[in-house]
């Protein structure tokens, strides 16, 4: 057993420590003190997560429900609570202050343990159906009632998904490596394959380096997709790759498909297909037509990647991206939506087949394996259209044809490249006839005035700090949003409001938008050190989560290269 107070004290140390190496040392020491049975959850909790990003399980507690609970436990009105949050700048610090003032014998009657806290989180996530909100409030109230002020501070931050202690994946990786004397690249690869630091930490302690090297992918557990860089031209891409595979960049949504034809061996569940979105959400239940296609076309147990494209039945051209999201989000009348918005699936990579990881194979070999695993069904599920060439002229012709079909452009893939999950490396390029864009998260907003009164109409954009996981401001955007979208944005963002202060609101970083801009400038005004000049919203990226947003490092790279 471990008292939750110990974890809260580690959070407090991490928040007060700016240095990356010092943070790593704190976590290294804590991992060495952690009971073995808790290692499967401690790494997630240190990053402010309760469940893995790819898990369908979630707490289902937003700011409104949390504030109701805090108000109930402390006896303070919601308005006074919001005022205190505004003064402190953070709900966790506000709750700590309120709990310090509150003198009540019901507090601190039972010491919290990490085990009890996590079990309560699981029970909160399980609450569903009629009366679920009431049960969630009761469970969380019981937890907070037993919490000391410091514990309450980090409990509410964890519930909101805003731990704010500056710990991201790189620090956890290095701490596990230090704690168990294993090279960081071995830990990195184990995490890359399993997408589970809990499993990695447990294996590292019990089985050491040999155990980590034996970890592999499992059907049913998604891995992060490899990301592409933007190339300014086909000529540049061929210069970097030589003879390369050119594929249509389909105007759809990326999916990762897990197909199991096995009997339960190798950790696979017997039978079935699971489909994960770009942000690793399980969307299987919304796509029964895709499940049918996969069962018909994919002949081996495999993890494959593709693009789901919403097709206009009459023109055969791609439909709007929002139509794709309507399919992904659908919970009811799914069959009716299949008729209205049919999908075609284009498969372009394979990561795992018949019990073996393929990510170390070259793309050329992976494509050959893919051709043996997938039997295309015309206008249902097909392999991505491809040519292999080093001819700029041939590639330009292929690119033009992709655009004529209504797609976004082309992908250029190095034939000799491995697959590196979660990385943006120079093995794969995208070429589109549009300027560079960034995927950023909205971290704040201003209430509009005049015609825009009553709407959140100016949005503060945040880029992710890859080291700490913090979202740092890179500018404010108000253009590119219609009045209809203003209303939609406001309705979407209102439940994410953490506090208001003088017409400015702080938002839980959740809504991702694709933003175009004219230029990147150095800026002392923003904590990121950069500002976007003339940014405008292109579209909402509901297929991406805050963890998928572009990093400050990427903005710095673009800043350095924009005048070359």
Residues 140 and 111 in one domain: yes
Residues 35 and 152 in one domain: yes
Where residue 26 sits, what CATH number does that domain have?
1.10.3260.10
Q: How many domains does the chain have?
A: 3
The three-class DSSP label of residue 65 is helix
Last residue of a domain, one of 374, 407, 431: 431
Q: Round to whole Å and give the CA distance between 258 and 352.
A: 9
In total, the chain counts a number of residues equal to 564
Q: What stretch of H or E contains 304?
A: strand 302-310
Residues 8 and 130 in one domain: yes
Residues 444 and 422 in one domain: no
- Domain assignment present for residue 196? The answer is no
Last residue of a domain, one of 112, 135, 160: 160
Phi and psi of 563, rounded to 5°?
-110, 10
Residues 267 and 323 in one domain: yes
Residues 449 and 302 in one domain: no
Binning the chain into helix, strand and coil, the percentages to the nearest 5 are 45, 25, 35
Active-site residues, by number, are 249
- Domain assignment present for residue 197? The answer is no
**Contact in structure between 204 and 186 (CB atoms under 8 Å):** no
User: Residue 550 is part of which domain span?
Assistant: 437-561
β-pairing, 343-353 with 381-383?
A: parallel
Q: Round to whole Å and give the CA distance between 550 and 152.
A: 32
- Domain assignment present for residue 110? The answer is yes
Residue with tokens 């709750």: 95
DSSP string, 255-293: EEEEE--SSSGGGPPSS-EEEE-TT--B-GGG-HHHHHH
Residues 267 and 392 in one domain: yes
Residues 82 and 118 in one domain: yes
**Contact in structure between 347 and 383 (CB atoms under 8 Å):** yes
- Domain assignment present for residue 216? The answer is no
Q: Round to whole Å and give the CA distance between 260 and 270.
A: 7
The three-class DSSP label of residue 376 is coil
- Domain assignment present for residue 199? The answer is no
Where residue 309 sits, what CATH number does that domain have?
3.30.470.30
Residues 284 and 304 in one domain: yes
For 277, residues 6+ apart whose C-beta sits below 8 A from its C-beta are 253, 254, 255, 283, 328, 543
**Contact in structure between 351 and 217 (CB atoms under 8 Å):** yes
- In eight-state DSSP terms, residue 551 is B
Last residue of a domain, one of 145, 160, 175: 160
Q: Round to whole Å and give the CA distance between 247 and 398.
A: 8
- Mind spelling out the 3-state secondary structure of 118-153? HHHHHHHHHCCCCCHHHHHHHHHHHHHHCCCHHHHH
Where residue 549 sits, what CATH number does that domain have?
2.40.50.140
- Domain assignment present for residue 205? The answer is no
* pTM attached to this predicted model: 0.79
Residues 418 and 447 in one domain: no
Residues 409 and 506 in one domain: no
Q: How does pLDDT run along the chain (564 residues), one tens digit per residue?
A: 899 999 999 999 999 998 899 999 999 999 999 999 999 999 999 999 999 878 888 898 888 889 889 988 888 888 888 888 878 878 899 899 888 876 544 444 678 999 999 999 999 999 988 888 889 999 999 999 999 999 999 999 999 888 889 898 999 999 999 999 999 999 999 999 999 999 999 999 999 999 999 999 999 999 999 988 888 889 999 999 999 999 999 988 999 999 998 644 443 443 589 999 988 888 898 899 999 999 999 999 999 999 999 988 777 788 877 788 888 877 777 888 888 888 999 999 999 998 899 999 999 999 999 999 999 999 899 999 999 999 999 999 999 999 988 888 999 999 999 999 988 777 899 998 766 789 999 999 988 777 777 788 889 999 998 888 889 999 888 766 677 778 888 888 888 888 777 778 888 888 999 998 878 888 888 889 899 888 888 888 888 888 889 999 889 888 887 655
- Domain assignment present for residue 90? The answer is yes
- Domain assignment present for residue 514? The answer is yes
Residues 261 and 354 in one domain: yes
Q: Round to whole Å and give the CA distance between 152 and 141.
A: 11
């Amino acid at each position: 057993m471990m008292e939750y107070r110990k974890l809260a004290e580690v959070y407090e140390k991490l928040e007060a420590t700016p240095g990356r190496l010092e943070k790593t040392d704190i976590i290294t020491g804590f991992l060495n003190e952690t009971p073995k049975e808790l290692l499967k959850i401690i790494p997630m909790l240190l990053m402010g997560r309760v469940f893995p990003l790819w898990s369908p399980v979630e707490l289902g507690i937003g700011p409104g429900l949390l504030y109701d609970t805090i108000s109930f436990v402390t006896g303070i009105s919601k308005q006074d609570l919001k005022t205190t949050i505004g003064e402190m700048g953070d709900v966790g610090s506000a709750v700590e202050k309120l709990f310090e003032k509150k003198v009540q014998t019901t507090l601190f009657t039972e010491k919290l343990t990490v085990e009890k806290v996590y079990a309560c989180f699981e029970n909160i996530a399980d609450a569903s159906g009629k009366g679920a909100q009431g049960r969630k409030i009761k469970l969380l109230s019981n937890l907070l009632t037993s919490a000391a002020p410091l514990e309450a501070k980090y409990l509410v931050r964890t519930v909101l998904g805003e731990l704010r202690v500056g710990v991201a994946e790189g620090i956890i990786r290095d701490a596990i490596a230090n704690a168990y004397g294993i090279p960081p690249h071995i830990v990195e690869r184990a995490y890359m394959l399993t997408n589970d630091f809990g499993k990695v930490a447990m294996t590292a302690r019990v089985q050491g380096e040999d155990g980590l090297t034996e970890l592999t992918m499992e059907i049913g557990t998604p891995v992060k997709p490899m990301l592409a860089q933007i190339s300014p031209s086909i000529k540049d891409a061929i210069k970097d790759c030589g003879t390369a595979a050119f594929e249509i960049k389909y105007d759809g949504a990326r999916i990762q498909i897990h197909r199991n034809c096995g009997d339960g061996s190798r950790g696979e569940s017997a039978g079935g297909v699971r489909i994960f979105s770009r942000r690793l959400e399980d969307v299987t239940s919304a796509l029964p037509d895709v499940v049918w296609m996969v069962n018909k076309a994919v002949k081996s147990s495999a993890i494959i990647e593709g693009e789901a494209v919403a097709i206009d039945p009459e023109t055969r051209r791609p439909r709007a991206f929002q139509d794709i999201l309507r399919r992904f989000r659908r919970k009811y009348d799914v069959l009716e939506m299949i008729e209205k918005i049919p999908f075609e699936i284009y498969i372009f990579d394979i990561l795992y087949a018949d019990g073996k990881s393929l990510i170390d194979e070259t793309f050329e070999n992976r494509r050959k394996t893919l051709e043996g695993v997938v039997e295309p069904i015309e206008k249902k599920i097909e392999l991505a259209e491809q040519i292999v060439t080093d001819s700029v002229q041939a590639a330009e012709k292929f690119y033009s044809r992709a655009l004529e079909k209504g797609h976004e452009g082309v992908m250029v893939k190095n034939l000799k490249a491995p697959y590196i999950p979660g990385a943006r490396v120079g093995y794969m390029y995208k070429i589109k006839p549009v300027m560079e864009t960034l995927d950023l998260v909205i971290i704040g907003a201003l209430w509009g005035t005049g015609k825009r009164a009553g709407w959140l109409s100016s949005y503060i954009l945040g880029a992710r700090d890859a080291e700490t996981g913090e979202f740092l401001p890179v500018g404010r955007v108000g253009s590119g949003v219609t009045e209809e979208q203003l209303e939609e944005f406001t309705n979407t963002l209102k439940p994410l409001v953490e506090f208001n202060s003088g017409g400015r609101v702080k938002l839980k970083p959740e809504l991702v938008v694709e933003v175009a801009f004219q230029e990147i400038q150095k800026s002392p005004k923003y904590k990121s050190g950069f500002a976007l000049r003339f940014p405008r919203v292109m579209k909402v990226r509901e297929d991406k989560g805050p963890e998928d947003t572009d990093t400050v490092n990427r903005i710095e790279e673009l800043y350095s290269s924009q005048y070359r």
